[in-house]
Amino acid sequence: MKVCLLKWLRTASLILLFYLMGGCDEVDRRLTIVNNTDKAMFYVLSTDSILDEGSPNYKKEVFKIGNAKDTVWVEQDYFVKPYSKKRNDILGGNGWTYFINRESSDSTLYVFFFNAMDLVDTPWEELRSEKKYIELHSFTVEELEKNNWKVVLENNN
């Protein structure tokens, strides 16, 4: 009898777990940043064509090993390596469409690209206020859909 009860409890627990997991919010993973350059890039997603004051979401640590100085990025959510791509997640099955249309006064997503190494020696406020970004891309939802939700940074050499 104890064995049957334990099996039943285990089965019921698994069913409950799967039910609860199925109730989670969908995630919109369509927006992809593509870096076709030979440099690591930091990017800022914005609903305005002017960057707000304040620091973006990054931290860096500089380690010295002998005479060499090496930079290690602690938080890499908004970094994309050379010749690679990075998906950006937002909650909701159609989250990016909703976010862009609701949060942007002109229904446009702006993507500011910065050379990641500029963040090592230049204060963020200087990069922001003096507009030292490499490129600024802007897209409406319709343009993003046409581009298959890819924002591509090309090598300009």
Q: What is the pLDDT of residues 52-82, one digit of tens each?
A: 776 565 544 444 344 444 444 444 578 899 9
Concatenate the DSSP letters of all residues of 24-90 into one string: SPPEE---EEEEESSS-EEEEEESSSSPPSS--S--EEEEEETTEEEEEES--TTEE-TTEEEE--E
CB 32 within 8 A of CB 87: yes
Tell me the pTM.
0.73
Mean pLDDT over all residues of the chain? 78
d(CA 88, CA 46): 13
pLDDT of amino acid 156:
73
Q: What letters, b where the CB count within 10 A reaches 16 and e where it falls short, cover 116-128? A: bebbeeeebeebb
pLDDT above 90: percentage of residues in the chain: 36
> 152 or 47, which is more confident?
152
Tokens of 130: 């003096």
Query: How many angstroms separate the Cα of 23 from the Cα of each of 14, 26, 29?
Result: 14, 9, 18
